[in-house]
Structure 1
Amino acid sequence: MTLVWEILGGAAAGSVLAHVGRRARMLDQGSAWSLAAAVTALSALGGWLWGATMVLTALAVGLATSIRRRQSSWRLPPPPPLSIEAICARLAWPVSLAVLSRFTPLDLFVAYTGGLAAACADAWATHFGILSKVPPRTLAGARAAVPGMPGAISTLGILASAGGSGLIGFAALACLSLQPLFDHAAPMSRALWLPLSALVGGFSGSLFDSFLAGTAQALYYCENCGTFSETPIHSCGEPARHVRGWTWMTNEAVDASASVIGAGIASATMSLLAWL
């Protein structure tokens, strides 16, 4: 497939995702444009393989968000649309890897998949875990927590995290099997470890996200609503009181860090499995 067709295909797929995300109120205007631009850039820099994997990841995250919205109630309000900062935090590292992908395609594609797997694992853990009937506990300290509190985990959330990261790994392998661009330095037999590498990397990134969210991430409390908030201004419009964490450690900073961790551990896992 020529570069022109890869760019056009990426732009078309990104535009459709952005439009659907806006209609479903999963994205705001800025994040919709950012997602469309990211898919286009990934297709241009890494080829259709990278763009297609990103599209499948977005669909997996959208599925979890849609299920969460159907189960929303007064106790579990629906998640707000993702902001441009949230999209950039999750995709900045994968797009950066795409810049170098023409030189060592498989090695960087593994890291790229691990970063996306971490993002999907976090989304699935959040949207499915909050539906658990068993109260969650903080990863750091194992203390009881309210559903939806940053850093809190549940058995359902852990299983969802593993499922989401593994799904991205298999999706990436499926796309990879259709892309005959790897030479003798990157045999397809080695790529068969991709699902397991993505599972380990994505799951580890999600756990790191929970640990960082429960210890260093800034947490605020809205006196007006009696709920916790990740921002100094709660969704109700009232200012929230800072109760924990570093003010500069936002949810976006945590997501970006988890993406890097997921990418690194996925690459390390692939190297270890290939060596064995």
Structure 2
Amino acid sequence: MLLGLLFILFLSYRAWKMRSLSISGMIGAFLVGSAIFLGFAWKGLFLLGCFFVSSSLLSKVKSKQKSFLQDILSKGDQRDIMQVAANGGLPAIIAVVYYFQGTNDTLYITLFCLSLAAANSDTWASEIGTLSKGRPRMLFSLKKVERGTSGAVSLLGSFAGLVGSFFISIMSGFLFSLSILDVLVMTLFGFLGNIFDTVLGQTVQIKYKCKVCQKVTEKRIHCSNIGRKSNSYAFMNNDAVNFTAIVLTTCLAFLIFT
């Protein structure tokens, strides 16, 4: 156990040194990693690593072409503790419950893997989708918007989300000896998490319209002015949307599988 905790601490520290995590993100990664190691040992930790490493690498791919996102997104490439919790919080909770249940019930394993597949699907869709040459469209109105806008979809981003979900699902199959059917179902649920995230991003995620340049961003202050809320009913930030989408996906899977 001690060896595992030291390994998690080392990885969290290295991620901070590589500027993939902020200091708070490093603390969050250690807590999430420790909880997952408690429940699913090295297999769970390896699967978490598949998500984190792949996501971090994708954030660096063609980073210069993504520089425009700094003008839209409220946070940068360095993940803080809230971003870590949004993506890894539920898998960590499932791992702790699995540990204290003291059972080998595959349901918990499936839900754990599925929740990471949903997180990975959304992350890959966001990181790769922003590289699309054409402008994405809002899911419901089909209106063309700027790349990086929450709630928008593109063919490239959707395909990346599906591949991201399959990546975690197939790794889960190898690590936990799951069937091909389990892998396929997990892939679909993981991609569904990405769809939930898109819907929430369009409907309830808070966005602001700059009074100066008229650009819609996640930043409350833009062009040195406080922006207007683009939707009076929106109240959730991006981290809350990510966490909620993963929770909805996992709860739906739980209701279907039990």
Please indicate, yes or no, whether the TM-score normalized by the shorter chain is above 0.5.
Answer: yes
> Cα 1:61–1:172, aligned 2, differ >3 Å: closer, same or farther?
same
> Which of residues 218, 241, 259 is equivalent to 2:246?
259
- Aligned: 1:200 with 2:188: yes
Q: Displacement, 1:237?
A: 5.8
> Cα 1:64–1:198, aligned 2, differ >3 Å: closer, same or farther?
farther
- Aligned: 1:31 with 2:25: yes
Q: Displacement, 1:223?
A: 3.1
Which region of structure 1 is more displaced relative to structure 2, 219-228 or 159-168?
Answer: 219-228
Secondary structure of the residue that 2:230 maps to in structure 1? strand
Q: 1:66-105 residue pairs with structure 2 within 5 A?
A: 66-73=60-67, 75-77=68-70, 80=76, 81-102=78-99, 103-105=103-105
CA distance in 2, matches of 1:139, 1:66: 27
Query: Are the aligned partners of 2:193 and 2:248 in contact in 1 as well (CA < 8 Å)?
Result: yes
Tell me the alpha carbon deviations over residues 238-264 of structure 1, each in whole angstroms, 9 at most, x when there is no partner: 422211153532211110111113324
Query: Are the aligned partners of 1:118 and 1:165 in contact in 2 as well (CA < 8 Å)?
Result: yes
Partner of 1:239: 226
Partner of 2:202: 214
> Cα 1:113–1:44, aligned 2, differ >3 Å: closer, same or farther?
same
Partner of 1:127: 127
> Which of residues 20, 26, 43 is equivalent to 1:49?
43
> Which of residues 8, 17, 20 is equivalent to 1:19?
17
CA distance in 2, matches of 1:240, 1:143: 21
Report how many residues are paired: 251
Secondary structure of the residue that 1:131 maps to in structure 2? coil
CA distance in 2, matches of 1:31, 1:225: 32
CA distance in 1, matches of 2:106, 2:8: 20
> Cα 1:117–1:227, aligned 2, differ >3 Å: closer, same or farther?
same
Query: Are the aligned partners of 1:129 and 1:157 in contact in 2 as well (CA < 8 Å)?
Result: yes
> Cα 1:100–1:4, aligned 2, differ >3 Å: closer, same or farther?
same
CA distance in 2, matches of 1:86, 1:225: 28
Q: Displacement, 1:99?
A: 1.0
Identity level (%): 25
Residue 51 of structure 2 aligns to which amino acid in structure 1?
A: T
Q: Displacement, 1:146?
A: 1.7
Structure 1: gaps (5+ residues): 177-187
Partner of 1:9: 7
Q: Displacement, 1:265?
A: 4.7
CA distance in 2, matches of 1:145, 1:201: 27
CA distance in 1, matches of 2:254, 2:227: 40
- Aligned: 1:61 with 2:55: yes
Q: Displacement, 1:77?
A: 4.5
Residue 251 of structure 1 aligns to which amino acid in structure 2?
A: N
Residue 13 of structure 1 aligns to which amino acid in structure 2?
A: L
> Which of residues 209, 214, 237 is equivalent to 1:250?
237
Which region of structure 1 is more displaced relative to structure 2, 223-232 or 141-150?
Answer: 223-232
Structure 2: gaps (5+ residues): none
TM superposition score normalised by structure 1: 0.81
> Cα 1:114–1:265, aligned 2, differ >3 Å: closer, same or farther?
farther
Q: Displacement, 1:105?
A: 4.6
CA distance in 2, matches of 1:162, 1:245: 32
CA RMSD of aligned residues (A): 2.5
Partner of 1:169: 169
TM superposition score normalised by structure 2: 0.86
Query: Are the aligned partners of 2:15 and 2:21 in contact in 1 as well (CA < 8 Å)?
Result: no
Q: Displacement, 1:122?
A: 0.9
Q: Displacement, 1:29?
A: 1.7
Partner of 1:185: none
